[in-house]
Structure 1
Amino acid sequence: MRLARPAASARRISLVPLIDVLFILLVYFMVTSVYRDLDMIPVVQDGSVSSESGGTATTVLLRIGADGQVVLRGRNVTPDVLASVLATPGQRVLILPTGAAPLWALTDLMDAVAAAGVTDARLIRLEAEG
């Protein structure tokens, strides 16, 4: 007795799993490549703000609250007032975000500082001693 074998079907390789994996890898590398070079943002860790040129530069401390508002000398600052404060040439700007400050507020403030032509801007991170 002879058993009839079914005709061999053409096997196809499905590309759907491959496309899914490539898409996940693409998203992963796009997200992680933004944080690849962390040395592009100078961070003051010891609180020293001495000038590299040895001169006396005025220092402006800008704090970012948890609501995203920029605070200068205890008062919320509008973008117009911020632009006029940053217009003084040769000043140092220190940016101190609170722990709950949104990232968009930090990037907006850093963009405003760069657009004002400030060349000495630093991001300060406070750490608890212990």
Structure 2
Amino acid sequence: MQFRRRRAEEPEINLIPFIDVLLVVLIFLMLSTTFSQLTQIQITLPTANTEKQNTTAETLTLTIQADGRYSLNQQALTATTVADIQAALQSAQAGPQTVLVIAADQNVRHQAVISAMEAARRSGLSRVTFAAQSSVAANSKAADKHSNPK
């Protein structure tokens, strides 16, 4: 009697339970780790005392209207080129500590403000600041416009 040989089955590893175990371990590790904070740059900011104000510096106010007209300390400037603004700033400048305040209308072209800044740089004015309207004042003006239409 001759028996048929059974074909030998090759053993194979079942990967599905192995993957399940690895995922559970991965979830456990993710939940148990402490998240480290990124290192922060340590700087010491200067403090400002609002009670003392520098009253020795001369202040020039350069106003730029919405249509691009300039005025320096409430005096209208006739020309609007950088060289003309520079000449006006140099004639009004009191010294190296002079502060230039640029008060530009919110609808003015950016080029007008850049021209004013370039004229200040050429004039040697290094202390330039921008005037801004407080949000409380802006809100009260808007309320007045709506309550008293002209």
TM-score by length of 1: 0.52
Percent pairwise identity: 23
The answer for the alignment partner of 2:100 in structure 1 is 93
Q: 8 Å contact 2:64–2:108 — kept in the other structure?
A: yes
Runs of 4+ in 1 over 3 A off after TM superposition: none
Unaligned 5+ runs, structure 2: 1-52, 140-150
Larger radius of gyration: 2
Deviations 1:56-88, CA, capped at 9 Å, x for gaps: 111111111112122123222241323322473
Distance 2:99 2:122 in 1: 14
2:132 maps to 1:125: yes
- Residue correspondences, number: 80
Query: Are positions 1:64 and 2:71 aligned together?
Result: no
In the alignment, residue 56 of structure 1 is paired with which amino acid?
Answer: T
Distance in 1 of aligned mates of 2:118 and 2:63: 15
Name 1:44's counterpart in structure 2.
Answer: none
2:80 is the counterpart of 1:73? no
Summarize the Cα distance change of 1:87–1:107 in structure 2 as closer, same or farther, 3 Å threshold: farther
Kept in 2, the 8 Å contact 1:87–1:116? The answer is no
Whether the aligned pair in 1 keeps the contact of 2:58 and 2:94 (CA below 8 Å) is no
TM-score (normalizing by structure 2): 0.46
SS at match of 2:135: coil
Greater relative contact order: 1 or 2 (C-alpha under 8 angstroms, separation 6 or more)? 1
CA distance in 2 between counterparts of 1:68 and 1:88 reads 27
1:119 shift after superposition: 1.9
Q: Which stretch of the first structure deviates more once superposed, 76-85 or 108-117? A: 76-85
